[in-house]
Structure 1
């Protein structure tokens, strides 16, 4: 039996160590072998790509020597530093492929919601007992309800306040996590998730208004396209939408609206590949509710195969029900022969050994197509191996306090299948994927990440998308033309 190159290299290293001084050529070989295993390590670069790579390394060395180093501090403190970075400016021009993990409730910037939507006629606002806000569009003053006793026409209130800019800034604070004091305002994950939930509820009254939803989806596609993103997979609960006269639209209407907006956008922007939906329900639901949702999602995928990509469970894993709790519901598609791919959030926890931690294994058992977040994967070597061999990509998300310690650094060093996405961009005061690519390229990848890394990550977003192979081929060819033009402009 012939020894593997890896085993042969280990044997040479052992013999070298036993002999005393290691052979410099073997050291160089070891470094090259390790570099070849990382994300992008096997990508052969053209002369032009190597020139850009040399420039990026020079810029990255300078940035890593700076104090503060942007990926080492909280994102809210680093945003302005990142915006001034020449690396970030270059990444804005880079064709990024697809955004495969964004939630519909945070697709569009809060600034657009406030400056555009809240200035529309018939928009009412209510301030709740828990220092949150609610919005609704209505032809007359809405009736009081348990969380809103006093509704005010927003245009009237804004006129009374006088300083519209300051008032709008206060509204934006209700719709995002952005703060000047993240450590003080968010001392723990409970505080973060509490603000998350309240911000989502606040925006729901705006986004679920039928005329707004059309414009909202269109604006979301524009924001992605401006950032050189060419494809979207959007997680959505398909909430019911309402008209000014009180008419309520069902999920079919929402799907058709999404389909119509996407088709029109692609027709006007032929360099945009399209968009699909992953139906998402909350893990706080009961087993019977999730069972019904799985059956409904399978029916929607059957009726809208070009729109509905699959199914997911969302919500905080540490306090929510684990995947295994819903095993009977999640087993239905396989049992009934239904076509419903899964795209599970899993492993968004640092609590080893808990039920939330086991979601990684259960996601793989239920044949998930991708893993959202996957922080815990670094502590599950078998799951990591299964994921890698099965090409189950990890969706690298979330802007943690110090990107150098992100668990994805381990996955990137191993060349694990992964894609970069933004999860909840509006919550962090961002749009597109440039910030996320910056954090992955500079913070998580460090000096080891190069142009090959960027190239592979962008292509992975098409490779691991839910698109059929024919559209993946179309997308790769479209992306390659954009990439070649990008390299030509920057090398």
Structure 2
């Protein structure tokens, strides 16, 4: 009712505007009214700020004006070159303190910083390394010399190799380069999407041997939650393929075992940190698979969700969208839950492409046809007016990952990100970081900065930040009663944040 009335007012004022343009200068009062009405539509535009929040908002506006006049302007520069500039920003430092709610789009293999992976995991006993023909690395823990596997015919004990090299710091830095995309020359090293995606996928494979070792996995999950909480995040939804885990003697554990570990780690972390709301997993498979393989994965996900209802949130398809198979290609597999009369929530990656009009570009519509709960990335959504309308009416939020979109070469200057249109229209949005360790980040503060300062521009304000943070709980997969608990807990943290920054 209120929305309809607002639309009627805007329409009426717009008509008055055009009538007056014919015979006189427009009334400044009408102009002001139009500007207020337009501002009310943007993300956070209808959030009422308290006097204390208004003071912080005025301070943020002043800071943003200063940064937008600066050269270089960080969101207009590749993140790898802008990172040190962002870290000096007063806005960024404030965002680090801000309670950001939930991280709803992070992949398991990139949850934890590469510094920890190298300086902790690779220093453990019985860690072997192999250098492959394509200039990549593989890791494997074993109580004996590993057999040839994964294109590796010669495995070396890392402890012995470090001793031979004699420069552990330099060697560790070289290992980190295999686990991240971060470089001082991103344009030179990654001239196109094919090259950056090739390095991206190699880094995932390199990390796998470390992360899937059972003792490392336990500590890895816990460390990931620590890094999130350190950035004032209280809840996580993690994309994971649930790779089988292995022991030192070669024993292999199934996916249920991995979920048990995840459940145990969450329980321990919540006991150690009572203000942490929890974490859930979105089971994911690569879109390079065949239909029968995805059908088996969907069946398995249905069973795992039944066995672990508090942990398994749903299902997704991951991997490079432009070179992978479309959602429609997998329609037989993805229709399986409905055919069986069961519910398996979907959280599809869709629209992570700038190839407008291709079959892949239709993933946005197909994700909605399969009733996706959220849309991962949704970069192309602004080019699909019907999909945008449907997703808005259904409250299907877009998981916006600005740094990922820039590093993977969908956009260079974040002021030109299509999400600027979504933000100006108040489309349901949440901010996330996709693959933080790949980009040299942790938590969400860097992505919040890019969205707030770059994509949102000068018109976004504290209300925008407040709504985006609250959205992350609102659009999570948590049941209604836990959403209420989470929003109450987040509001308490938000109030404390406002109070401490007066």
Normalised by the size of structure 1, how large is the TM-score?
0.99
- Deviates further, 136-145 or 434-443: 136-145
* Counterpart for residue 127 of structure 1: 131
In the TM superposition, what is the alpha-carbon distance from 1:21 to its structure 2 partner? 0.6
Aligned counterparts of 2:413 and 2:71: Cα–Cα separation in 1: 14
* Counterpart for residue 327 of structure 1: 331
Aligned counterparts of 1:217 and 1:27: Cα–Cα separation in 2: 53
Cα contact 1:302–1:339 (8 A) shared by 2: no
Paired residue for 2:274, among 270, 273, 281?
270
* Counterpart for residue 417 of structure 2: 406
Aligned counterparts of 1:174 and 1:467: Cα–Cα separation in 2: 35
In the TM superposition, what is the alpha-carbon distance from 1:330 to its structure 2 partner? 0.5
Paired residue for 1:155, among 152, 159, 168?
159
* Counterpart for residue 291 of structure 1: 295
Aligned counterparts of 2:13 and 2:162: Cα–Cα separation in 1: 71
* Counterpart for residue 14 of structure 1: 18
Corresponding position: 1:118 with 2:122: yes
Normalised by the size of structure 2, how large is the TM-score?
0.97
Corresponding position: 1:219 with 2:223: yes
In the TM superposition, what is the alpha-carbon distance from 1:19 to its structure 2 partner? 2.2
Residue by residue over 1:343-382, the C-alpha shift from the partner in whole angstroms, topping out at 9 and shown as x without a partner, is: 0000000111111100000000000000001011010001
Aligned counterparts of 1:357 and 1:230: Cα–Cα separation in 2: 34
Paired residue for 1:80, among 81, 84, 92?
84
Cα contact 1:301–1:339 (8 A) shared by 2: no
Aligned counterparts of 1:29 and 1:267: Cα–Cα separation in 2: 51
Gap runs ≥5 in structure 1: none
**Aligned with 1:327: secondary structure?**
helix
CA-atom RMSD, angstroms? 1.1
Aligned counterparts of 1:305 and 1:161: Cα–Cα separation in 2: 49
Aligned length: 491
In the TM superposition, what is the alpha-carbon distance from 1:6 to its structure 2 partner? 2.3
Residue by residue over 1:100-150, the C-alpha shift from the partner in whole angstroms, topping out at 9 and shown as x without a partner, is: 000001000000000000000000001111010000001111122361121
Aligned counterparts of 1:350 and 1:131: Cα–Cα separation in 2: 29
In the TM superposition, what is the alpha-carbon distance from 1:263 to its structure 2 partner? 0.9
* Counterpart for residue 313 of structure 1: 317
Paired residue for 1:389, among 389, 393, 416?
393
Runs of 4+ in structure 1 displaced over 6 angstroms? none
Residue by residue over 1:239-296, the C-alpha shift from the partner in whole angstroms, topping out at 9 and shown as x without a partner, is: 0000001100000000010011001101111110000000000000100000011111
In the TM superposition, what is the alpha-carbon distance from 1:33 to its structure 2 partner? 0.6
Aligned counterparts of 1:202 and 1:268: Cα–Cα separation in 2: 31
Gap runs ≥5 in structure 2: 407-411
* Counterpart for residue 93 of structure 1: 97
Residue by residue over 1:417-459, the C-alpha shift from the partner in whole angstroms, topping out at 9 and shown as x without a partner, is: 0000000000001100000100111011011110000000000
* Counterpart for residue 409 of structure 2: none
Residue by residue over 1:359-414, the C-alpha shift from the partner in whole angstroms, topping out at 9 and shown as x without a partner, is: 00000000000000101101000100001011000000141121101111110000
* Counterpart for residue 371 of structure 1: 375
* Counterpart for residue 143 of structure 1: 147
Corresponding position: 1:468 with 2:472: no
**Aligned with 1:261: secondary structure?**
helix
